[in-house]
Amino acid sequence: MTQSPPLGTALAGALAPWREAWRVRRAHPRWAVLWAAQASQYQAFRLSRRHRDAVLAAATPEELTAQIEDAERAEQARQAARKIVWR
């Protein structure tokens, strides 16, 4: 007869993706980050009303972090380009 792991270990494993989503959210406060358990992916949405079109998804928190940083750099570049045009 096999023994199942203690509930604490199983629960900790089940909560790990949510904890990672929270870590990414804390690092990027302008984004809502969550773990979509049924899809087994992390998702991020901009909190800005102006930029709600950005919806990102990734299999790992590292991939999602990279996508968020890329989106932020692209937005900064667009803002800089607008400033140059208006001068």
- Average pLDDT by consecutive 10-residue portion of the chain (87 residues)? 70 91 97 95 90 86 97 88 69
Query: Quick one: pLDDT at residue 73?
Result: 93
Q: What is the pTM of this model?
A: 0.79
Query: Quick one: pLDDT at residue 87?
Result: 54
Task: List the strands of the sheet with 31-36, edge to edge.
Answer: 31-36, 41-46, 55-58
What is the residue extent of each domain of the chain? 7-86
Helix/strand number for the chain, H first, E second:
2, 3
Q: Residue 58 in contact with residue 64, Cβ under 8 Å?
A: yes
Query: Quick one: pLDDT at residue 54?
Result: 77
